[in-house]
Structure 1
Amino acid sequence: MEVNATANTAAKGAWSLLSSTPLVCYVILVLVGILGNGMVICVVGENILRQQKVYRSSDMILVNMAFSNLMVSVARNLLLMSPSMNWCQILMGIWVWLRCANVWSTFFVSAFHFQTLRRVAPPMASLNGSRGPPRSLLMGFVLLWSLNLIYSIPAFVFSTKGDKNATETLMLVSSTTRPLLGCLWDFPSTYSGLAFATASMVIHEIIPILLMSVTNLGSLITLYTHGSKHHPAHKSQGMPIMHRVPAERRAAKVILALIILFITSWGASVVSMNYFNYNRGPSSAYLLVVARFTNSGFIALSPFILAMGHRRLRAVILKCKC
């Protein structure tokens, strides 16, 4: 597959722009993301372990998303700090696996909230007295991580070491399968590489974004329909979740903010990388810096957005400020 040797100058320019103030800002952004998501895992995870009689599925999903954010951030930035590593197959495979799982973990938050609002009966766990975590949710986590691991196998198999700071045209189309540290794709043919890149863009970016937008819109519509105090008929339909309309409305707004932040981060990254790849104008190096910042923006800011809808997280953050 074709390698762009001309990427060398632009890539070096992008790194030179990440000096002094921009580099400090980027390091702070990365540290905030790592510490923030680590805090979500510790605080919410401790809450799950403390309440052993009742496993809150929403908390488990938040921990899963925070864990995927943390792994993506650690993997990306450890690789950037270790440019001499020559493990392209392992690095590219891990990146594709973690990034794809991260996208679907974000979708899980919106999908679970929509399913909760649509539930017309109490969950079975509360009826049969089961004290274990929901099996269906655990199975969902297993499928999420295992299926994405299987999907990343081509990244393990068809990656190779390229020239320093070189980049491969096709893979910059997608923010999920971007090249790392001169590691390139070496598929048997251009068509097979195009098929993998297109599938990544559709399956792991466009479809999850559409689904999370639709499910969140459905949640907002459901809350609007059943939340009015002037419609007592809705309250007699036996939906157990509707007595907590204000809290669920706040949760829906938090999820909406997460989705907007995710789409903004994803869109800015894709646009910046494709401008660099196909235009190579004077703004290319600057847009690569923009892509690098936006890739970390969602991971850094999502814990603070989650805190707006999670009482225990909010209490911990306020206590830290004091």
Structure 2
Amino acid sequence: MSSLDTNSKLLRMGLRNPMTLMYSAIYIILGTLGIVGNAMVIGVIGRSLMMERGAGHNSDIIIMNLAVSNLMVSVTRNSLLAISDLGFKLYPSKGWCQFLMGIWVWLRSVNVWSTLFLSAFHLHTLKRVSPSMGNFQGWWSTHKSLLLSLGIIWILNLIYSIPAYIFSTNGNENTTETLMLVSSTTRPLLGCVWDFPTIHTGLAFATTSMVIHEIFPIILMVVTNTTSLHTLYTHSRLQRSGQDAPVMKRVPAERRAAKVILALVIVFIISWGCSILSVNYFNYNRGSSAEFLLVIARFTTVIFIVLSPAILAVGHRRLRSCIKSTLTE
């Protein structure tokens, strides 16, 4: 079965079914905030990394990597959605659709694993300062190993995006989507759609993607954050009992970092989880609520990108200073 169905009236989204003016305005505002916020994070932290070098900036490198993936998703995907809402009818060729779908899948996938990496790195840091671990250094203790890990995330997800190049094509004004993936787009953006040879192939790929690439990282985020909170609780209990006082001085700072990362993960799980539920409701059920749920999915996918710079600013001194100086000028 092809994912092109010109007779379907369930969803005529994108350029063929304009959203209300209110929805379009809200989405454009959110997209703009996502670009501005993440660009600010990259500018402030990037300047800090260039001016001051040291092992203490490993967390800044990870934050900047997350902001870069957020910004690239906003520029290459969300901005195009906003442009299409303004009424511009662009229908790329098959080659361009394959390229664009590949880019969307790649960047959205990197965004997922970059968020998990931030959570995992904080747990790694807590294990390093744990009294029971002594002076444990670990794999991510140097810039080279850290950059190599981030590079692996980008390369592996680039490989994962290859099916988007193979199984996507261009549609036309009457094209509707019959199969969707959270990691790409929740509508035939610019007429680009998935085009699997059979319904079984498409559902198999969507299910595999959902389990391995979407649900599995969320489970890992929950596990790493729960472990981090438990580790911090153990540290605090030792501090109250007067044990290992020199090591325990880092607990307040690590606790603040844990709260920030926990907030990021909660926002990510809520936004990404809503998208997973909505898109898979469409793929496997297609009841009367499908169109409404896909509108919800479209907005929830941008919420994390918009809120993450604000959440990061709460726990990052330089970001807070930059925002305060901007607002007071």
TM-score by length of 2: 0.85
SS in 1 for 2:182: coil
Residue pairs, 1:169-188, within 5 angstroms: 169-170=178-179, 172=180, 174-178=181-185, 180-181=188-189, 182-188=191-197
2:303 counterpart residue number: 297
Percent identity, aligned pairs only, is 53
1:254 alignment partner in structure 2: 260
What secondary structure, in the 3-state scheme, does the structure 2 residue paired with 1:302 have?
helix
Compute the displacement of 1:247 (Å). 1.1
In the TM superposition, 1:194-273 aligns within 5 A as 194-228=203-237, 229-233=239-243, 235=244, 240=247, 242-273=248-279
Q: Deviations over 1:253-292 (max 9, x none)?
A: 11111111011111222333344553342x5444333222
Letter in structure 1 aligned against 2:208: A
The one-letter code matched in structure 2 to 1:70 is: L
Write out per-residue CA displacement over residues 44-84 of structure 1, whole angstroms, 9 at most, x where no aligned residue.
Answer: 11111111244511000000000001111111134333633
Q: Residues 14 and 180 from structure 1, CA distance in 2 versus in 1: closer, same or farther, beyond 3 angstroms?
A: closer
Aligned to 1:130: none
Which stretch of the first structure deviates more once superposed, 310-319 or 76-85? 76-85
**Separation (CA, whole Å) in 2 of partners of 1:280 and 1:10:** 15
Post-superposition offset of 1:194: 3.0
Bigger shift: 206-215 or 76-85? 76-85
Instruction: Name the CA distance, whole Å, in 2 between partners of 1:261 and 1:202.
Output: 20
What is the CA deviation profile of residues 142-175 of structure 1, one whole-angstrom value per residue up to 9, with x for unaligned ones?
10001110111111122112343634433x2x31
How far is the alpha carbon of 1:98 from its aligned partner?
Answer: 0.7
SS in structure 1 at match of 2:193: strand
CA drift at 1:316: 1.0
- Which residue of structure 2 lines up, in the alignment, with residue 107 of structure 1? 116
Unaligned runs of 5+ in 1: 128-132
SS of 2:240's equivalent? coil
After superposing the two structures, state which structure 1 stretch, 191-200 or 1-10, moved more.
Answer: 1-10
> For 1:248 and 1:205, how far apart are their aligned partners in 2?
28
Q: Does 1:146 align with 2:155?
A: yes
Q: Could you say which residue in structure 2 is the equivalent of 1:315?
A: 321
1:279 aligns with 2:286: yes
Moved more, 290-299 or 78-87: 78-87
1:156 aligns with 2:145: no
Q: 2:92 aligns with which of 85, 91, 98?
A: 85
In the alignment, the residues of structure 2 paired with residue 41 and residue 165 of structure 1 have an alpha-carbon distance, to the nearest angstrom, of: 40
Instruction: Please state whether the residue corresponding to 1:166 is helix, strand or coil.
Output: coil
Mapped contact 1:96–1:177 kept (Cα < 8 A): yes
Contact 2:97/2:168 (CA < 8 Å) preserved in 1? yes
After TM superposition, give the deviation of residue 199 of structure 1 in Å: 2.3
Matching residue's letter, 1:216: N
Aligned to 2:106, the other structure's residue is in SS state helix
CA contact (8 A) 2:122 2:258 kept: yes
Alpha-carbon distance in 2 for matches of 1:211, 1:124? 19
**Which amino acid in the other structure matches residue 84 of structure 1?**
Y
Alpha-carbon distance in structure 1 between the residues aligned to 2:209 and 2:35: 26
- Aligned partners of 1:289 and 1:14: how far apart in 2? 14
Note if contact 2:11-2:176 (Cα within 8 Å) is conserved in structure 1. no
CA contact (8 A) 1:160 1:186 kept: yes
Residues 1:47 and 1:110: Cα distance change in structure 2 (over 3 Å): same
Question: What SS does structure 1 have at the residue aligned with 2:202?
Answer: helix
Distance in 1 between the 2:73 and 2:310 partners? 18
- CA 1:215–1:165 in structure 2 vs 1: closer, same or farther (change >3 Å)? farther
> Is the contact between residue 38 and residue 68 of structure 2 (CA under 8 Å) also seen in structure 1?
yes
**Count of residues in correspondence between the two structures:** 308
State the SS of the aligned residue for 2:169.
Answer: strand
Aligned equivalents of 2:258, 2:312: Cα separation in 1: 11
CA distance in 2, matches of 1:190, 1:221: 45
- 1:184 is paired with a residue whose SS is strand
Deviation at 1:11, TM superposition (A): 1.9
What is the TM-score of this pair, normalised by structure 1?
Answer: 0.86
- In 2, the alpha carbon distance for the partners of 1:105 and 1:214 equals 16
Residues 12, 158 of structure 1: alpha-carbon distance in 2 compared, 3 angstrom cutoff: closer
Q: What root-mean-square deviation, in Å, do the aligned CA atoms of Structure 1 and Structure 2 show?
A: 2.6
Structure 2 residue ranges without an equivalent (≥5): 85-89
Q: Structure 1 residues 165 and 297, CA, compared in 2 at 3 Å: closer, same or farther?
A: farther
